[in-house]
Each structure stands twice: as structure tokens, then as C-alpha cells.
Homo-oligomer: A and B are copies of this chain.
């Protein structure tokens, strides 16, 4: 039995079979970026110290992955309390195991100073309008085409995301599609603002031009009404790639919402998918990713058993208290690094690399 620092958080048998299939293999990493005005509603997101900064977060995260530093902003994205972006974890995993990194622009206001795939998406509106996106079908279809191309020379795919405000739109799309998401989506903050999110979601759904039945029958209508641009892009790439190769959907409850969209549009690929996330997500008492995924299907959840408790840096210790938890594919890409190295890389090697990067980035920021 293969041994790695992975928690089989749901559907253990399917999870172990998935691990067997990709053990020792090298994936391609794709990170889907977008912006939604929803992130600027006060109290929604911690992905930027001030709401307008959330426009820069996805681009800054991609730059971090490519160059080890951001170009479009000074320093790195931090929460209002100074916790750095989970992009640092993703970046560290990618430094430990070399793999191709492709950014996918699903609709950002600020473009990264890197190459990226363009899927002709546009930034999302505040979902309270019920008219969040323009043409998610076109983006989804472009995503499917891209996923098929990426699959042609990849052993498997890991796909992550960076979009501030994304857990609120995740809740909205889940509920619009008829899933029970109440109290189940996670948050980048310690106090998960469930009631605020639900109020926003209800407003969006009631303003949607589509009926509940229409949104249940067609995930892209739910996305068009109350989703964010990351969703149709990520769902399309997953649907296209998982036709032929295994896919780790790297994220927490946001990726679970994308998985629900995939189920509605391409259910036949679900057996080729695992959710890859962090220990902090599966252990989070303010959200319930297992419950969401169970409603979708028998999809395994693999959680990277990361532990920042032993770190001498307070900025990293706080991760153990449940700040930030996940993002930029941090958990799934850590899982991929553990698997690619056949378990040689684990929680200790990850913490050492994250500390190294943390010190270096804090120095750049003059802290």
C-alpha cells in the first residue's frame, strides 16, 4: 500500500484507487483565475486587505507561481490580518516537484504579467443582481476544447483556482442547482459569515431571470445568474480533460461547486475525478465539504496532511487556527507533489519549503 501524507477524507476505497493510478506520475497544473464584484461586498472575502485589492489577488497569485514573487503588486496578497495567500503553499509544492503550470483567464480585471490561456470570459457582476455572467456557455465550451488539448500530453491534470469572493458564489450556484449548501461552504475568515452569504445568495436567486426549475435543469443557467467566471471555465476544462485522464480538482467548497456543475453537464467523467484539498478544509467545523461532495456522487476527497503547527513563524502557525485554509490549488497541488515523489515529499518537506518562501517574501515586504 502506497504511503503518503494524505488524509482519505471521503470515499477511501475510490481514493486509494485514484492514488494508485497517478502514483509517481507528473501532472500538469492549471490555475483558473477570475474576478467577481461579489468579493467587494463588505464582509465577504479575506482575499485582500481592502475590497478593491481583490481585483489584483488572482493575477498576483499566478505571478507568484511563475516567478516566486508578484509583479502587479508589491509583496504578496494578504488577508486584512496579514496572513499570506495560500499561493505560497502552491508555489512551494511546485518548487518541490517540477510540472508545467498554465494560467487560465476566465475573466479577470487585472491580467497577470505571465502567459495565460484566454477563454473569452469576462469579470463577474455582483450576484445580488441575478445577472452575474454574460455568456458562460461559450467559456465552458472553450474550456472543454482546452481540457482535451491539455489531456493529450499530460498523465493527469490538477486544476486550482484563484478568485476572491468565490465561496459566496459557490454557495449561490449550489443552492440554485438545488443542492443543500447552507452552512456548508468554507470561508477564508475564522468567523465564517454564513448568514451574510445566505442573504446575498437569496437576493441573487430571487433576481435571477431563470426559474428554480430552469437552473436545476441547466447548471450554466445557475452560473449565469449567480455564479462567478471561474466556474464555467474550470468546469469545462475538467469535463474535457477527464474524458481521457484523471483530474484532481484542487480546492475546497468552491471546487465542490464546480464539481456539481460538471456533474450536470458531463456526468460520465465523474469517475475520473478526485477532490484534492487541505487538512484545514476537511477539519473545518464551520463548513462541510464532505456533505457537498456526497450529494454530487461517490467522488473521493484527498486532503494534504499539512501541519504548520511546528513552525517558528506565527504567520504560518495561524493556518492551524483555520485562517485562509485553501486556495490557488494549495491542497491539491500538495497532494500531487506527495504522489509524484512517491511519498518522499510530505508534510515536513512542505513546511520547510513554505518557511523558506515565507521568510523570503516577508523580507521583500519589509516585515
Contacts of A101 in B (CB 8 A): 149
**Interface stretch of the complex, out of A76-84, A150-158, A168-176, A319-327:** A150-158
Q: Is the CB of A116 within 8 A of B118?
A: yes
Contact of A117 among B98, B99, B111, B116 (CB under 8 A): B116
Does chain B have a CB within 8 A of A145? yes
Contact of A118 among B100, B117, B142 (CB under 8 A): B117
Known contacts: A28-B153, A66-B145, A149-B101. The answer to whether A115 contacts B118 by CB under 8 A is: yes
Within A99-127, the residues touching B (CB, 8 Å) are: 99-102, 105, 111, 113-120
Known contacts: A100-B149, A149-B102, A153-B28. The answer to whether A117 contacts B114 by CB under 8 A is: no
Q: Is the CB of A146 within 8 A of B115?
A: yes
Contact of A100 among B115, B119, B152 (CB under 8 A): B152
Bound-state CA distance A120–B116 (Å) is 9
The 3 closest A-B pairs by CB, nearest first: A115-B146, A100-B152, A118-B118
A321-349: CB near B (< 8 Å → 1, else 0) gives: 00000000000000000000000000000
Q: Is the CB of A142 within 8 A of B119?
A: no
Bound-state CA distance A120–B111 (Å) is 9
Contacts of A119 in B (CB 8 A): 115
Contacts of A117 in B (CB 8 A): 115-118
Residues of A at under 8 Å CB distance from B? 26, 28, 66, 98-102, 105, 111, 113-120, 142-143, 145-146, 149-150, 152-154
Q: Is the CB of B145 within 8 A of A114?
A: yes
A287 to chain B, nearest CB (A): 32
Known contacts: A100-B152, A153-B28, A153-B153. The answer to whether A118 contacts B105 by CB under 8 A is: yes
Residue of B nearest to A67 (CB): B145
Q: Is the CB of B99 within 8 A of A114?
A: no
A24 to chain B, nearest CB (A): 15
Q: Is the CB of B28 within 8 A of A115?
A: no
Q: Is the CB of B100 within 8 A of A153?
A: yes
Bound-state CA distance A142–B67 (Å) is 12
Contacts of A115 in B (CB 8 A): 117-119, 142-143, 145-146, 149
A258 to chain B, nearest CB (A): 17
Contacts of A66 in B (CB 8 A): 145
Q: A117-B117, A117-B118 are in contact. List 6 more A-B contacts (CB 8 A).
A: A26-B153, A98-B152, A99-B152, A115-B119, A115-B145, A116-B117
Contacts of A120 in B (CB 8 A): 111
A185 to chain B, nearest CB (A): 29
